[in-house]
Amino acid sequence: MTFRPKWVIVLGALVTTIGCAAGSSTASPSSSPGPSSLRVLRAEEIRSVAVLTAYQAIARLRPRWLQRRAILNANPNEGIVVAYVDGVRIGGAESLERIQASSVVEIEYLSGLDATTRFGVGHAGGAILVRTR
């Protein structure tokens, strides 16, 4: 049996408690002020920039969502992001130019893995989900 001073055990318990408290929150994601996250754009953040379309909002606030993901495949459409509005597939990212930014409640990005799990094959580039009023 190894002898450990009490202060080492107490310190370990304190660090564990602080780490757990910092990782949890009782506030819902939609109630948090400021930038939403790297995965979600909320209406307040979209309104904070002068843009007309959902595409322009993403290009300004989360441009990485629009980047093509490298895929080692002969299919030229593989690796592009797929856009959904209110659960309906509307095409590639360029189709978001038809969605007025003022009508957007939330925009969420799904990685290729998450999008493929949710929607099936053909989503290696990820998916952008737009929720409107």
Residue 64 confidence (pLDDT): 93
Dihedral sign from CA coordinates of 22, 24, 26, 30: positive
Residue-level pLDDT, tens digit, the chain, 133 residues = 555 566 555 555 544 545 444 443 334 444 444 455 889 999 999 999 999 999 999 999 999 999 876 555 556 567 789 999 999 999 999 999 999 999 999 999 999 999 999 999 889 899 999 999 9
Residue 36 confidence (pLDDT): 53
Structure tokens at 43: 């209406």
Phi, psi dihedrals of residue 93, rounded to the nearest 5°: -60, -35
Query: What domains sit in the chain, N to C, each tagged with a CATH number?
Result: 34-132 (2.170.130.10)
Q: Determine contact, residues 54/132, Cβ cutoff 8 Å.
A: no
Residue 67 confidence (pLDDT): 85
Phi, psi dihedrals of residue 53, rounded to the nearest 5°: -125, 165
Residues 90, 48, 114: CA angle, nearest 5 degrees: 40
In angstroms, the Cα distances linking 11 to 1, 5, 19 are 20, 10, 12
Q: Using CA atoms, how far apart are residues 47 and 105, in angstroms rounded to an integer?
A: 10
